[in-house]
Structure 1
Amino acid sequence: MIAVEDPRLTFARQALGPISSVPMPGLPSHLLALVDARDVLHVVKRHTDAGRFRQEAHAYITVVPHLGDRAPKMVAADPVTRSLLLTLLSGQSAVDLPPCSQAERDAYHSAGTTLRALHQVVPAESGDAIPAYLAGRTRWWTGRAHTAGLISVGERRTLLAHADALAIAVMDGAICHLDYQPRNWLVGSDGVVRVLDFEHARLDARVRDFARLEHRHWRLNPHLRETFFDGYGRPPDETERDLLIRFGVIEALTALVRGHESGDPQLAVHGRTLLDQLI
């Protein structure tokens, strides 16, 4: 029986020439590590969703180069296998840093600096449609939560009022990562945080990149918030703090519905708890 080569290897060989796969225990199945003839490490990331593939490939062409060595570089993209060939960054995952350590504080400071660099990229399009888009997303998630019986009639009314407020809110647009949190940070030996996974990156409200940190990581560790914004350059102003609450509502609804639909009780509880705190 003739063995069929992993199409990711075929794609990578066409781009790099001679390659060898590199065993990396713990690497997710959609990632494949390999080394080329010059002993340079790479990773092939395969998407199951064509839209996510296109969005991340576009980000690596238009946005990620502005981050320099704070992000991987894309070598090639293959729409047939929905795979991206990227340089492999070395470093320690920020989630593995000892809690309350100086290393953790330093990582949050560097992560703030990295995000500032991303937000300084000049977008190619206007951000005028962002408030309407976010209001629409809030209504959409509210509808799904209500249909699934996850929220009450009164909560639905409150959430729709949140959506109406978002529709007329003033907010700065920026190129956002939209999953900016420690699981996507690699801390190099130089202490610099490099960021991974740009499949959600797009023009959005700048403050949204703080929302996941605010509602998942900073509530129990407020000192990390201060450290992060010291690296970023400035903290949110009063208007932006109000937006963080409204974006927290979107975060809560997303977690509640996705946790329910995927059978992930931990995610659903996070969404329910956060929603109770915010509305």
Structure 2
Amino acid sequence: MTTTAPVGLADEQRAVLEAWLPGFRIERDHSWGLTSTVVLEVEHDGRRLVVKAADPRDGHFPRGVRAHRSWLGPWVEAGRAPRLLHLDEDTRILVTEFVPGDLVLGGPHELDPDVHRQAGALLAMMHGQGSVVDDTYCAREQATTLAWLDRPHRIAPETAARVRDVVEAWDLPPAVLVPTHGDWQPRNWVLDGGGAVHAIDFGRADLRPAATDFARLAAQQFRADPALEQAFVSGYGVDPREPAAWRRHLLREAVSTAAWAHQVGDEPFERQGLRMVDEALARVEVA
């Protein structure tokens, strides 16, 4: 795809982009389609760049901006994440460097232990920038999980009732929060020609417990091969998954996955979420 058409951009976003990158060409539309975020690979003056734009309802855009400003420094300086080049918060559009290489998801290296070891080491760089103690984090996560249960979903009624009972009985201790990616998995890893892993897509970045960045992998790739989990933890350096907190997070992640996927019509992801709910409840029952 090569076009000068402003795919998915509002008029004011197009005007800002044309002021930054006069004569740009859109090479590929990478937009996911399930959210309002527009992601375009563009060419300008012989250089490949990435444009991200969002409408006012999209909560991913400000999280991505915060990540670029506050947390991506170690990755950028190591050449493992794209540098922010242009930003207009009023019109909600930004431009970053393009990360060349192959997306790990669906490729021949998705289940490569060395890739997972590298991903663990990269994550440790981000998490290691500092921490804060938050007395209200667990209570917020409890409220969020219960709110997901109140929205449309296809979790079986008896299962939903059991989840609600478990969540309402959660202990709510203080939590140690670090800068997290929020969607740390192979669809956000790019492997360059030299075999190095790079990070992309920071729209879910936030301060959270470190273990939360293990959850997407635990629900997917780690199930395929335990050696991947071992390699990832080896790269990370330690295993931050305290058992009780990990059980709470897996259940919250499961409920939100099942409900969100149902609401946006992503049936394969919804099936994964429903499986995750059953598995998270089973962990609670044997604890």
CA distance in 2 between counterparts of 1:138 and 1:52 reads 19
Percent sequence identity is 24
- In the superposition, the TM-score normalised over structure 1's length comes to 0.83
Q: Does 1:263 align with 2:270?
A: no
Change (3 A) 1:255 1:50: closer
Task: Decide which structure has greater helix share.
Answer: 1
What is the DSSP-based 3-state SS (H/G/I as helix, E as strand, rest coil) of the residue aligned with 1:175?
A: strand
Match of 1:118 in 2: 126
| Matched residue, 1:185 | 189
1:72 paired residue among 82, 91, 99: 82
RMSD: 2.6
**Structure 1: gaps of 5 or more residues:** none
Partner of 2:147: 140
Q: Give 5+ residue unaligned stretches, structure 2.
A: 33-37, 282-287
**2:38 is equivalent to residue 28 of structure 1:** no
Q: What is the rounded CA distance, in whole Å, between the counterparts of 2:217 and 2:43 in structure 1? A: 34
Query: Is 1:272 paired with 2:280?
Result: no
Check 1:15–1:118 CA distance in 2 against 1; reply closer, same or farther (3 A cut): same
TM-score by length of 2: 0.81
Count residues with an aligned counterpart.
Answer: 265
For 2:217, the equivalent position in structure 1 comes to 213
Change (3 A) 1:226 1:137: same
Q: Tell me the residue number matched to 1:46.
A: 53
Decide whether aligned partners of structure 1 residues 57 and 99 sit closer, same or farther in structure 2, where only a CA change above 3 A counts: closer
**Matches of 2:110 and 2:199 in 1, distance apart?**
21
Aligned residue in 2 for 1:96: 106
1:202-238 CA distance string (max 9 Å, x none): 111111110111112212221110111111112245x
Q: What SS does the aligned partner of 1:200 have?
A: coil
Aligned ranges 1:98-247 → 2 under 5 Å? 98=108, 104-122=112-130, 126-144=133-151, 148=153, 150-153=155-158, 155-168=160-173, 171-236=175-240, 240-247=242-249
One-letter amino acid of the counterpart of residue 144, structure 1: R
Equivalent-residue separation in structure 2 for 1:119 and 1:223 (angstroms):
23
CA contact (8 A) 2:110 2:186 kept: no
Which stretch of the first structure deviates more once superposed, 269-278 or 175-184?
269-278
Matched to 2:115, the amino acid is A
Q: Which residue identity does 1:55 align to in structure 2?
A: R
4+ long deviations beyond 4 Å: none
